[in-house]
């Protein structure tokens, strides 16, 4: 149970088997023509969280660039709820025609399968990976008006003196901020109380207002208030310091060697989306992410562009699902 404050291969018949074998002979003629015309109408990108978080920020940046490259609107639709499972379910059930994509991330694709019972989709079988967009280290930040600690060791000492009293916010159960903080608390042997929100934007609003004490979330939404002096950054969750903000030490170098809990984000489509469409999206996305227009902007916000093949992204999802599933079992977490 999650502790949180009140807040927010069946055998085929002969005919079926022959039909299945015949499909590859028919598809090569039909699919390339469809892909050559795609896109002929607007494409939606589902973001399973509220506006303002890293998932939303990256989706909107990619949508603008893909729209310009492919000549059709790419429209971001925010579908928040249940730690991202509602929007993810909508994306999984959409027609596999290239007109519905989702900006997935570590929480929705790797964490939620271990956290939520009876999901109506499988994050590997229900989706076609397209491209890994970015790796985003999380930034551990406190409201300095509520928390006297000025370093990670001081924060952990405070948590040991006051077990369960410090509150940390996240964009929802199973979000990257949530699971990253669970990993930190387990590694340090401390207890803090989780306050889940319906998105990163509302959570940061409350953190700035002093309603909660701290968070550990992606750089794009948290670094602006840190740079403005409104929040104090105590550490980053990657093994290396951020190129954009090298003054922030890593968590690993502050007494927790080897600690790493980075976020990652990538575009997926419903399983069965034609491969030519997937390949076109992958190629355009890679070009965009490595362009001199977008890459420096992402890096300035603490995001590292990381395009690769659809297969490499799919392997990352499977590997991370196993890793975080083991941590969820260790921590006895369950979303209700």
239-255 pLDDT, tens per residue? 999 999 999 999 999 99
Cis status of the peptide bond prior to 39, with omega within 30 of 0: yes
pLDDT confidence of residue 248: 98
Query: Are 79 and 131 members of one domain?
Result: yes
Residue position matching structure tokens 């009293």: 165
Q: Residues 113-131: what's their mean pLDDT?
A: 95
Query: Are 54 and 125 members of one domain?
Result: yes
Q: Which of 205, 238, 254 is the last residue of a domain?
A: 254
Side-by-side strand order, sheet with 193-196: 193-196, 167-170, 214-218, 138-142, 232-236
Q: Residues 118-137: what's their mean pLDDT?
A: 96
Q: How sure is the predictor about 134, in pLDDT bands with cuts at 50, 70 and 90?
A: very high
Q: What is the pLDDT of residues 91-108, one digit of tens each?
A: 999 999 999 999 999 999
pLDDT confidence of residue 285: 98
**pLDDT of 8 higher than 50:** no
Quote the domain boundaries for residue 60. Answer: 40-135+262-331
For residues 307 and 285, the answer to whether their CB atoms sit within 8 Å is: yes
**pLDDT of 15 higher than 60:** no
- Residue of 64, 97, 131, 81 whose CA lies nearest to 310: 131
Q: What is the pLDDT of residues 190-202, one digit of tens each?
A: 999 999 998 889 9
Query: Are 143 and 119 members of one domain?
Result: no
What CATH number has the domain bearing residue 77? Answer: 3.40.190.150
Joined together, the tokens standing for residue 266 give 């990538």
pLDDT confidence of residue 20: 34
Q: How far apart are CA 87 and CA 92, in angstroms?
A: 9
Q: What is the pLDDT of residues 44-54, one digit of tens each?
A: 999 999 898 88
DSSP 227-261: HTTSSEEEEESSSS--SS-TTSPBSGGGT-TT---
pLDDT confidence of residue 206: 98
**pLDDT of 13 higher than 70:** no
**pLDDT of 174 higher than 80:** no
Query: Are 126 and 268 members of one domain?
Result: yes
Query: Are 274 and 240 members of one domain?
Result: no
What CATH number has the domain bearing residue 199? Answer: 3.40.190.10
């Amino acid at each position: 149970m999650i502790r949180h404050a009140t807040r927010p291969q069946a055998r085929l018949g002969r005919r079926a088997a022959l039909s299945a074998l015949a499909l590859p002979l028919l598809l090569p003629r039909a699919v390339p023509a469809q892909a050559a015309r795609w896109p002929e109408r607007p494409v939606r990108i589902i973001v399973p969280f509220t506006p303002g978080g890293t998932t939303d920020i990256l989706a909107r940046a990619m949508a603008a660039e893909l729209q310009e490259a492919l000549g059709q609107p790419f429209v971001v639709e925010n579908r928040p709820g249940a730690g991202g499972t509602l929007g993810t379910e909508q994306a999984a059930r959409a027609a596999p025609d290239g007109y519905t994509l989702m900006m997935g991330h570590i929480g929705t694709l790797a964490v939620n399968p271990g956290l939520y019972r009876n999901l109506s989709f499988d994050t590997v079988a229900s989706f076609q990976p397209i491209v890994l967009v970015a790796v985003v280290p999380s930034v551990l930040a406190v409201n300095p008006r509520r928390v006297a600690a000025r370093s990670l060791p001081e924060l952990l000492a405070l948590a040991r003196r006051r077990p369960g009293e410090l509150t940390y916010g996240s964009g929802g159960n199973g979000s990257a901020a949530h699971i990253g903080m669970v990993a930190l608390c387990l590694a340090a042997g401390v207890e803090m109380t989780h306050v889940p929100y319906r998105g990163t934007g509302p959570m940061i609003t409350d953190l700035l207002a002093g309603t909660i004490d701290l968070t550990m979330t992606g750089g794009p939404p948290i670094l602006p208030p840190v740079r403005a002096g409104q929040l104090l950054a105590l550490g980053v969750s990657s093994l290396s310091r951020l190129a954009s903000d090298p003054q922030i030490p890593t968590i690993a170098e502050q007494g927790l060697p080897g600690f790493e809990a980075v976020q990652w984000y990538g575009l997926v489509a419903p399983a069965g989306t034609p491969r030519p469409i997937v390949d076109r999206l992958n190629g355009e996305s890679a070009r965009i992410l490595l362009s001199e227009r977008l890459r420096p902007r992402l890096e300035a916000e603490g995001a590292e562009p990381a395009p690769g093949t659809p297969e490499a992204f799919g392997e990352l999802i499977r590997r991370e699902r196993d890793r975080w599933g083991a941590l969820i079992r260790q921590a006895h977490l369950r979303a209700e």
